[in-house]
Amino acid sequence: MRRSPYLFSAAITVIIALLISASACKKKVQPTPPPAAVETRRPEAPPPAAPTISLTATPAAIEKGESSRLSWTSTNATGVTIDNGLGTVEPSGSREVSPSVSTTYMARASGPGGDAVAEARVTVTAPPSVTPPPLPAISDSEFFTSNIKDIFFDYDQYTIREDARVTLMENARALKERPGIRILIEGHCDDRGSEKYNLALGDQRANAARDFLIGQGIEASRIDTVSYGEERPFCEVQDEECWQLNRRAHMTMR
């Protein structure tokens, strides 16, 4: 609320900019027919109306790490795009943005009647006075231990369960954060099947986890697999709790 004057002035700026740019574009792309001709035009072929767009950022100034809401409204547009990574968006809407440096966002509305653009700037200031001490850099192996988790499988299955999908997506996100980390996925089984089959099943489990991570954008060259079948159990009690612990793809750092 403290920053409402900024909002006001930004809105004024945007509207002025919008009017100028909208008319400029209109001239460039679609010459206006002479007024006299309008009356003689047949009603089924009116000139395409020029698109309009407005874009605001609220608040217009943030501290680093905070976010601002971009809001836009367009008319007569068949497509609206916003740069700086937002891409194609709906005709009117809003998005939270959290730029790390001051950024000018440009929205472009396109339609049969031409293009219109509007800009809004989000000013990013450094955090206030007391800067927190820099986080201690954690090693790859510490990072791995706290961020990369094992996944578990159903009896005699190598399909990725819903809980495992969530885990693997988080693993993928963490692996993208640390592109230097390479992983070895170990496939493990409970000991109820026979040893020969379990070795093959463990391989299929490790491969299923690998394929999923590759699907999440992790380079295949960063992931290796090995099956241990039932040879390296995590738990050696004969009950379902223990069997479940042994049906897993275990993530290790290479």
Partner 1 sequence: MSAKIKIFALLLVVISAASTTLFTQEEPPPITIRPTPSEEVILAVADVQPLNAARSGELSEAIRVFNQVLWDDLAFSGFFTLAGKSFYPPEPIVRPEDVRYEAWATLPWSVSFLTAGTLDISGGILKAELRLFDMKARTPMPGLRISGEKDQIRSMAHRWADEIVYRLTAGASRGVAMTKIAFTSRRGNAKEIHVMDYDGYNSRAFTHNNAINLFPGWAPDNSKLSFVSYRTGKPEINVYSYIDGSRVAFPMFNSFASTPAISPSGTEIAFSLRTPRGDSDLFVSKLDGSGRRNISNHPAADFAPTWSPSGRQIAFASGRETRPGHNQIYICDADGSNVRRIVKEGGDADSPAWSPDGRWIAFHWKPYRSSKYDIFIAEAASGQIRQLTSGAGSNEVPTWAPDGRHIAFQSNRTGSWQIYIMLLDGTELRMITRQGNNTSPAWSGYFRQVSEN
Interface residues with partner 1 (CB under 8 A) are 155-157, 192-197, 199-201, 203-204, 207-208, 211, 225-228, 231-232, 238
Rank residues 219 and 231 by Cβ distance to partner 1 and give the closer one: 231
| Closest separation in Å from C-beta 74 to partner 1 | 48
| Closest separation in Å from C-beta 73 to partner 1 | 50
- On the CB side of 148, CA atoms within 13 Å amount to 25
* Residue located via tokens 């100034």: 61
Rank residues 55 and 223 by Cβ distance to partner 1 and give the closer one: 223
Separation CA 57–CA 68 (nearest Å): 6
- On the CB side of 56, CA atoms within 13 Å amount to 15
| Closest separation in Å from C-beta 161 to partner 1 | 14
For CA atoms 216, 217, 222, 227, the dihedral sign is: positive
Rank residues 78 and 157 by Cβ distance to partner 1 and give the closer one: 157
| Closest separation in Å from C-beta 206 to partner 1 | 9
Rank residues 62 and 185 by Cβ distance to partner 1 and give the closer one: 185
Separation CA 168–CA 162 (nearest Å): 10
Instruction: Return the number of other C-beta atoms located less than 10 Å from residue 62's C-beta.
Output: 19
